[in-house]
Amino acid sequence: MSMGPMATGIAAGRLPAEEIAANFGDLHPPMAPHEAAVAADRCYFCHDAPCVTACPTAIDIPMFIRQIQTGRPEAAARTIFEQNILGGMCARVCPTETLCEEACVREAAEGKPVEIGRLQRHATDRLMAEGGHPFTRAAPTGKRVAVVGAGPAGLACAHRLAMLGHEAVIFEARAKPGGLNEFGIAAYKTPDGFAAAEVEWLLRIGGIELRCGQRLGDGLSLEALRAEYDAVFLSIGLGGVNALDAAGADLEGVRDAIDFIAELRQAEDLAALPVGRDVVVIGGGMTAVDAAVQSKLLGAQTVTIAYRRSREEMGASRYEQDLATSKGVRLMCNLQPAALHGEGAVAEIELEATATQNGVLMATGETVRLPADQVFRAIGQTLAGAPEALAREGGKIAVSGPGRTSLPGVWAGGDCAAGGQDLTVTAVAEGRDAAMDIHASLGALPRGSAD
């Protein structure tokens, strides 16, 4: 439910515009060349590097750090982009602290890993700033592939298909591409319109047509795409949101966190964006942290994340949890919503304590009330808009191998596909690998040619 006039505690301009602008500055400023050189010198350049194994896209991390060390950041960027064409965004948003950097030998020996994420950004930013594209297309194959969804998986798939000489047509439901990179990630992680700039840069490979305002199931059918194109890749994300099962969930001032983040990301003036005085976010994942931190940065007086399980079980990494607390967000665990109270608009939230007994989460009956004029739901998303003909697994599209669905000629990847982690870097790997499998399955003959 969107914010409306009854939600009187929700207001814009809680902080001066200049303070809000400072709050939403770059979370991790880019490295200067000297700083990057010093950071690169800390790498042991392991032969059997555990950081590479920990990277979902298998970037040759020792190689690109060596290239930075020897003064060749552009070559380092190419090494990164060969495996992860969205390496610039992943350098900003990837949870490196639980992936490559956690596996770093320096982390195990000293408790301080090589700053792989920041070094990756140093290299990719350098090459992208030059404006060129590091790859060229192969000879045209005559094959055309439909890619549904312009999020990380779809973009990675389309780019790799284009590199291999195929034509890719991306159908995107929203008015602009980028998926969660554009609409679902905290603004302070990707300021200055980087997500849109990265898409524009990616499309320079050529051979990719982008059609926005095209939603599967709304004038666009999988059957028609299968008939017109040589292959179809689905990267439609998760369009639904789990409902909040508590009395008062329909009160004004209660809304989905993902919608709030999208509104914030597209706002031209953050100072004009309304936020509550007392904000409560229900959930424990990255979306919950992003919504909570940004509420605080907009000037909310109190911001609380309420999560039904323990802190150790939160989906957000410990780094993200600590970031939230450093910004003044309160984490309250083993609490689940029992009811929301208010006359028309939410004014309080009643939370019930939980405990795990014999592996089962149980409500204890003990409750606490918090003032709340704005409540965000961040309790998970669900698959929406996928054709019924596709087999499901765990509420998502079932896939085997590199994204093959139950329908011949149809692949899927990203958040809509079963398995894997809901991360940008994982989506990129799935889109890239599906493209390679599509390429192998197509052969060289155009559609309609004799075998």
Over residues 419-434, the mean pLDDT reads 94
Locate all alpha helices (DSSP H) within 94-213, ordered by sequence. 100-103, 105-110, 116-129, 152-163, 180-183, 194-202
Do the domain assignments include residue 63? yes
Tabulate helix, strand, coil % of the chain (nearest 5).
40, 20, 40
Neighbours of 145 (CB within 10 A): 27
Among residues 71, 106, 129, the one where a domain terminates is 129
Decide: 404 and 192 in contact? Cβ < 8 Å: no
Predicted confidence band of residue 28 (pLDDT cuts 50, 70, 90): confident
Confidence of residue 443 (pLDDT cuts 50, 70, 90): confident
pLDDT at 422: 87
What average pLDDT does the segment 22-30 reach?
A: 92
Instruction: From 330, 339, 166, 310, select the one nearest 248 (Cα to Cα).
Output: 339
Say yes or no: 52 and 165 in one domain: no
Q: What DSSP character marks residue 193?
A: T
User: Residue 446's pLDDT band (boundaries 50, 70, 90)?
Assistant: very low
> HSE (CB half, 13 Å, CA atoms) of 215?
11
Q: Give the pLDDT confidence score for residue 373 in this predicted structure.
A: 97
Query: pTM of this prediction?
Result: 0.94
Mean pLDDT of the chain: 94
Hey, what are 322's tokens?
Answer: 């600590």
Per-residue pLDDT averaged across 281-302, rounded?
Answer: 98
Within-domain flag for 2: no
Q: Are residues 349 and 321 in the same domain?
A: yes
Q: What would the mean pLDDT of 438-451 be, rounded to a whole number? A: 63
Secondary structure class of 293 (helix, strand, coil): helix
- List, in sequence order, the alpha helices (H) in 274-423: 286-297, 318-326
Classify residue 86: in a domain, yes or no: yes
* 360-389 average pLDDT score: 96
**Once rounded to an integer, what is the mean pLDDT over residues 249-265?**
97
How many other CB atoms are found less than 10 A from the CB of residue 221? 12
Q: Is 163 in the same domain as 49? A: no
Backbone angles phi, psi at 168, to 5 degrees: -120, 135
In this structure, are residues 327 and 293 in contact, taking their beta carbons and an 8 Å threshold? yes
Angle at 325 between CA 320 and CA 330, to 5 degrees: 115
Q: What is the pLDDT of residue 374?
A: 98
- Final residue in a domain of this structure, among 72, 103, 129: 129
Residue 7 falls within a domain, yes or no? no
Flag whether pLDDT at 204 surpasses 50. yes
Q: Are residues 337 and 365 in the same domain?
A: yes
State whether 174 and 299 are in the same domain. Answer: no
Domain that holds residue 212: 144-239+384-442
Confidence of residue 29 (pLDDT cuts 50, 70, 90): confident
Distance, CA of 171 to CA of 359 (rounded, Å): 43
The pLDDT, as a whole number, for residue 2 is 40
Claim to verify: residue 235 and residue 264 sit in the same structural domain: no
Residues 201 and 311 in one domain: no
- Are residues 114 and 43 in contact, defined by beta-carbon separation less than 8 angstroms? yes
| Total domain count, the chain | 3
- Domain with residue 88: its CATH number is 1.10.1060.10
237 and 430 Cβ atoms separated by less than 8 Å? no
- Taking every pair of Cα atoms in the chain, the longest distance, rounded to a whole number of angstroms, is 72
Report pLDDT for 8: 58
Q: Which of 191, 46, 79, 201 is nearest to 133 (CA)?
A: 201
Is residue 274 a contact partner of residue 11, using CB atoms and an 8 Å limit? yes
Say what angle helices 194-202 and 152-163 make with each other, to 10 degrees. Answer: 20
Token output for 209? 């047509």
Same domain, residue pair 225 and 263 = no
Q: Is 328 helix (H, G, I), strand (E, B) or coil?
A: coil
User: Does residue 356 sit in the same domain as residue 393?
Assistant: no
How confident is the model over 383-410, as a mean pLDDT?
96
175 pLDDT above the threshold of 90 = yes
- Tell me whether residue 171 is in a domain: yes
Structural domain ending residue among the three candidates 326, 350, 377: 377
CA atoms within 13 A on the CB side of 48: 0
Helix locations, 203-277, DSSP H: 222-228, 257-266
AA identity, residue 427: A
pLDDT band with cut points at 50, 70 and 90 for residue 318: very high
Residue 4 lies in a domain: no
End-to-end CA distance of the chain, in Å?
Answer: 55
Residue 9 domain-assigned? no
Q: How many residues does the structure list for the chain? A: 451
As a whole number of angstroms, the distance between CA 443 and CA 425 comes to: 28
Instruction: Round to whole Å and give the CA distance between 174 and 177.
Output: 7
Q: Are 212 and 176 in contact (CB under 8 A)?
A: yes
State both tokens at 235. Answer: 């990267």
Same domain, 343 and 247: yes
* CATH (domain of 419): 3.50.50.60
pLDDT at 290: 98
Amino acid present at 407: L
Statement to judge: residues 157 and 285 lie in one domain: no
Mean per-residue pLDDT, 330-354: 97
What residues pair up with 37 in beta bridges, in sequence order?
Answer: none
pLDDT at residue 359 tops 70: yes
**Could you tell me if 235 and 121 lie in one domain?**
no
3-state secondary structure of 371: strand
The answer as to whether 138 is a domain residue is no
Tokens coding 371: 């003032």
Hunting for tokens 């990380």 — which residue is that?
A: 152
- Condensed to tens digits (0 to 9), the pLDDT of residues 75-102 reads 999 999 999 999 999 999 999 999 999 9
